Structure formats: C-alpha cells, structure tokens
C-alpha cells in the first residue's frame, strides 16, 4: 500500500501548498482521501481524476472538500470525451445534510453515505470508521490490506477511543494542527503535535506522519514537539510517497 501526500495544510494552505488530500494505491486500485484546495492540481502529477476508483471524505469542511467543486468539471469533460464511463463513487458522512446534497453534479458522482461502525470494502482495501470529536461530523479511517495497516485521524481533538482505533498501525497519519505552546492543555476540534505523538505512543504504531499542519506555525517545531513523546514521528511532505507495510 502506498500513500502519497498531495496536501498537508489546514484550515488554509501555506504559500505554494495545498490542504488535505492523499492518494492511496494498492494492487492497481487508486483512492483519493479528502480533496482540499490545491489537491486536484497535485493529483494530476500521478493520474487523471477519471482514473480514480473512489473518493473518500473524512468530513465536509471546505479544506477537505473544496477541489471537489472543480474536480466535477474534469469528470464532466472526461465523460463528454468518453473517458469516464460510469459515476465516480464518492463516500462521505451525510451531515451536514445541506453540504452532502451539494456533492452530486450531473450524475458524475455516485454519492454513498459513510457512518461510524460500518465496514467498507474497495478493491484490496478493507476500511472501518470511528467518529471523531470535531465541529462537524468527521470519521477517522482504518484501512487494511494483506500487507499493512494505515490509520487516518481525520480532524479531531483528543478522545479516548482514538488510540485503540489506531492500535498497531504500520502508519498513523494524524492531524497536528497546533503546537502545545498555542493551546494548553488541548485545542478545541484539533490536536497538537505533542497530542498526536502521545496517541501514537499509546497505540503502539510503527510510524507517525504529522499532517493538517497550520500554515502559521513552523513545521520544524511541530516535529520537535512530537518527537519528545514519539521518536518515530515525521512531517507529511507534499509530493512524497510512503510505503505502508508490516
């Protein structure tokens, strides 16, 4: 399983950066997880949008969904030129209902509601979900293949179940929007880099990849803060690919 970071910022990008977006590949099957602003441009370095097998959204905040509004134009073009032959499956939490209803466009997406506690099987991927603690309904994702386990936190503040959900993951892709000097003991709706690292340590994951970085904070300080608690922490680097394997 290979994870490519297309965007790592939230709630808005740093200059030249992009918001949340991740390309996940295994056995020739390609999934886009989140589609924040700047992600569509980056995606095309690897494949065309109509070559995706599915899109998954952790939640419906714009820094995770904004480029869907233009991705649909790319799909519309692809259908008119016979490159897209069926709607692209788009899995997302159904709340807020008004935002979920905005997702369909000319039947280019097959919108599928996601819920905590459900299992989803897409190609080689087996996915499970748990609801996080955020200002909108948001789902963390555990994604497994025969060769490895990836857990993505989505957006969240600390909650007791996250470490158990991430237990034993080969790669834990976790939001680290703040630094502890910015908010003590914990920020609302988001984690600090140290908080993400403490969860990684309790979960016994192999590697921690810090993402959803705030563009106003120095990334090096986030990494330094995280490594106090979990040495195998890294910054998610845009354009880099990470192998997820046991």
The CATH architecture one would assign to domain 2-243 is 4-Layer Sandwich (3.60)
Across the strands, what pairs with 235? Answer: 210
Cβ within 8 Å of residue 18, ≥6 positions away: 6, 7, 8, 9, 36, 37, 38, 39, 41, 42, 238
Query: pLDDT confidence of 188, banded at 50, 70, 90?
Result: confident
pLDDT for 147-163, tens place per residue?
999 999 999 999 999 99
pLDDT for 104-120, tens place per residue?
999 999 999 999 999 99
pLDDT, greater one: 19 or 188: 19
Pairing of strands 2-7, 21-26: antiparallel
Centre a 10 Å sphere on the Cβ of residue 198 and count the other Cβ atoms it contains.
18
State the pTM of this model: 0.95
Centre a 10 Å sphere on the Cβ of residue 44 and count the other Cβ atoms it contains.
12
């Amino acid at each position: 399983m290979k994870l490519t970071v297309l965007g790592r910022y939230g709630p808005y990008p740093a200059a030249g950066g992009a918001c949340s977006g991740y390309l996940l590949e295994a056995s020739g099957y390609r999934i886009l997880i989140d589609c924040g602003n700047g992600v569509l441009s980056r995606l095309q370095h690897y494949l065309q949008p109509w070559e995706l097998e599915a899109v998954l959204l952790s939640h419906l905040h714009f820094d995770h969904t904004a480029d869907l509004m233009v991705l649909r134009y790319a799909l519309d073009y692809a259908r008119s030129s016979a490159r897209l032959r069926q709607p692209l499956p788009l899995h997302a939490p159904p709340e807020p209902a008004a935002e979920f209803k905005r997702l369909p466009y000319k039947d280019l997406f097959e919108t599928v509601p996601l819920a905590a506690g459900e299992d989803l099987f897409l190609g080689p991927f087996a996915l499970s979900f748990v609801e996080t603690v955020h200002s909108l309904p948001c789902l963390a994702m555990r994604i497994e293949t025969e060769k490895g386990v990836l857990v993505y936190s989505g957006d969240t503040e600390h909650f007791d179940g996250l470490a158990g959900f991430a237990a034993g993951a080969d790669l834990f892709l976790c939001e680290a929007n703040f630094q502890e000097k910015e908010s003590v003991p914990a920020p609302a709706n988001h984690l600090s880099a140290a908080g993400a690292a403490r969860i990684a340590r309790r979960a016994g994951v192999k590697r921690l990849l810090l993402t959803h970085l705030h563009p106003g904070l120095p990334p090096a300080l986030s990494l330094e803060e995280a490594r106090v608690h979990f040495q195998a922490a890294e910054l998610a680097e845009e354009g880099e690919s990470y192998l997820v394997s046991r």
